[in-house]
Structure 1
């Protein structure tokens, strides 16, 4: 380490490896947890062998990792800073006249790059994998013999709609493709000129333009006659944007598609709060990650003593968890519309950044 540039590259490389190590451990832990949790989720709903459960876990893993990636930043930074302190490298760095802020410049730059990559690249990948998870799980439910057992039924999804032949109520056990494809569908269609009801049971339903296309449908008319239709259509006044807004999870929508979904929901007169919250939260993620760096620095950039290690680690972890839960709580109240979306998305990150910066200024002035 013969110069400021070399020193910065060294610190950046150490932090990058620390982050990747923490990320790898997080992925392994989540994969194990998913393998334990998925059989419980499948019990009574669908049958899956070990290979199918592992595939489901892999599909779901990126979404889980994305939700907690800020902790990988925190753990990687703390490991890097404590390792530098343990090897007395911090003493040498301070002796070279480096301030804390100059020292943190390299980790902060790497963190900003990580944050931007997680939003622009990893989020679309995680959203695509989560969509695959929903489709694959829905197919397993469809193929399972236990799927039709009403004693094990879940509340499912409900839609009320109007059509050319009258109003109807649609219930589905599961959905995929942001709600545009439904599985195990029951439709109660009311006749426009009477109070009679047409009962329809179908394996699948897919919304294309202004019609639901049902597959393998059993239709019971008001007179009690039952007929089987390989393909059956029902008109609807619901647009794809309305269905997506009602049924889709923002986690299955790529960052690059969120603005389009916001526009579609607004044009349909529906609430776009969830999508706006997701969009702003993703934009704020690099700032939140930088706040994690400052939290790690506040507790870890000290002269290494074994008796202080536990206190340093616990202090950083507790602070990180507090920030995570405050951010999650802010997400919830923002989604419910209790506070403006911009405030809910940006307030935790900016406040944490300000508190961390203040703590470092105080620490440096001592």
Structure 2
């Protein structure tokens, strides 16, 4: 905070305190609701203790908190500025001829910096916790899960060879990838770039090691030839355990640093990587979204308390925050359907929110 005066530092400290309080309240609510939901979900397991449920809840919480962080800045910012307003501190600032821009813009810049740190640091931690949650939940509910996928489809490849992998069951416990009842279909691209079927392998089990799949109890059949049996066989793989498990996960559960590799591997395998690209752009736009939410919170909180209508403005600010959230989700759905470009879907909601907040501030402060 070098170069900032006492006033800016004071307002910023009030803002950070309110944002921290809002984060604590929202996180507590998330933990409570998640704990209750998990208690109902695993009620079929009589041997599950409270400690295990609470550990699962803590692993699930970061990913939900990450989703709701824009509301943390909206609610925290409104609490800070409404508090300054009700204590007549804003009246004193305006009487001294101090513009709201002087203390709002530094706070918005701090929100953007926090957004960058969230993307670079907290997002990978939340993704790791989410992956651990899925693994621990699967182990805890083994043979009890009714909604677990029965089949697995994977695809890997490069410029010359494509491989489609089908399995009846998967095991991703302890960071390993083990498939059972496996069928592998190997294709090779011809001179025209079209894939041609080369061989099929059936295996009782396939386990992924660095750089290769190890198949056991294998039956191999090439096009136009009889099948050959072998006890084990190794097949080169461009996947590692983490990238393979990412194929089972939604783009939201992949860490920011892993998204470029996930995009590359997905496109090499012949799949569309639009979901990963959209998520990557949304994470890049996160600092703008946090700054926009803080500016919106200020725009709806600076009306002098003695003029009345402050509660209505605050409620309108909360409503506009939900509109921005649903606009963001709606834009993502349109991008998934290839209706609008990915870049526009990711950046339009935060930019529109930022411009709306700046316009409201200009109207409030400068008339």
**Secondary structure in structure 2 of the residue aligned to 1:159:** strand
Is 1:6 matched up with 2:6? Answer: yes
Q: Does the 8 Å contact 1:334/1:341 carry over to 2?
A: yes
In structure 1, the partner of 2:279 is 278
Q: Does the 8 Å contact 1:158/1:169 carry over to 2?
A: yes
Q: Does the 8 Å contact 2:15/2:80 carry over to 1?
A: yes
How far did residue 291 of structure 1 move?
1.2
Higher helix proportion (structure 1 or 2): 1
How far did residue 213 of structure 1 move?
6.0
In structure 1, the partner of 2:297 is 296
> Aligned partners of 2:327, 2:55: CA distance in 1, in Å?
33
Over 3 Å counting, the alpha-carbon distance change for 1:207 and 1:4 in structure 2 is: closer
Q: Does the 8 Å contact 1:46/1:141 carry over to 2?
A: no
Q: Does the 8 Å contact 1:86/1:304 carry over to 2?
A: yes
In structure 1, the partner of 2:325 is 324
In structure 1, the partner of 2:261 is 260
What TM-score comes out, normalization by structure 2 length? Answer: 0.79
> Aligned partners of 1:138, 1:341: CA distance in 2, in Å?
33
Q: Does the 8 Å contact 1:8/1:103 carry over to 2?
A: yes
How far did residue 98 of structure 1 move?
1.6
In structure 2, the partner of 1:65 is 65
> Aligned partners of 1:319, 1:137: CA distance in 2, in Å?
36
Counterpart of 1:209 (choices 208, 211, 226) is 211
**Secondary structure in structure 1 of the residue aligned to 2:300:** helix
**Aligned positions of 1:138-217 closer than 5 A:** 138-142=138-142, 146=144, 152=146, 154-159=148-153, 169-172=166-169, 175=172, 181=177, 186-187=180-181, 189=183, 200=204, 206=208, 208-211=210-213
How far did residue 365 of structure 1 move?
2.9
Q: Does the 8 Å contact 2:177/2:244 carry over to 1?
A: no
Q: Does the 8 Å contact 2:108/2:292 carry over to 1?
A: no
Residue by residue over 1:20-49, the C-alpha shift from the partner in whole angstroms, topping out at 9 and shown as x without a partner, is 110111111100011011123334589632
In structure 2, the partner of 1:91 is 91
Q: Does the 8 Å contact 1:15/1:76 carry over to 2?
A: yes
How far did residue 310 of structure 1 move?
3.0
> Aligned partners of 1:290, 1:342: CA distance in 2, in Å?
19
> Aligned partners of 2:87, 2:23: CA distance in 1, in Å?
23
Structure 2: state its 5+ residue gaps: 157-162, 187-200, 220-230
What TM-score comes out, normalization by structure 1 length? Answer: 0.79
Q: Does the 8 Å contact 1:169/1:189 carry over to 2?
A: yes
In structure 1, the partner of 2:110 is 110
> Aligned partners of 1:313, 1:257: CA distance in 2, in Å?
39
How far did residue 286 of structure 1 move?
0.8
Matched positions, count: 334
Higher mean displacement: 280-289 or 126-135: 126-135
> Aligned partners of 1:319, 1:207: CA distance in 2, in Å?
50
Residue by residue over 1:141-199, the C-alpha shift from the partner in whole angstroms, topping out at 9 and shown as x without a partner, is 33xx545xxxx35444422779xxx9873123675689x625xx55165999xxxx979
In structure 2, the partner of 1:224 is none
Q: Does the 8 Å contact 2:304/2:310 carry over to 1?
A: no
> Aligned partners of 2:112, 2:61: CA distance in 1, in Å?
23
Over 3 Å counting, the alpha-carbon distance change for 1:282 and 1:47 in structure 2 is: farther
How far did residue 249 of structure 1 move?
2.5
Over 3 Å counting, the alpha-carbon distance change for 1:234 and 1:35 in structure 2 is: farther
> Aligned partners of 1:314, 1:305: CA distance in 2, in Å?
18
> Aligned partners of 1:208, 1:4: CA distance in 2, in Å?
52
**Secondary structure in structure 2 of the residue aligned to 1:187:** strand
**Secondary structure in structure 2 of the residue aligned to 1:240:** coil
**Secondary structure in structure 2 of the residue aligned to 1:342:** helix
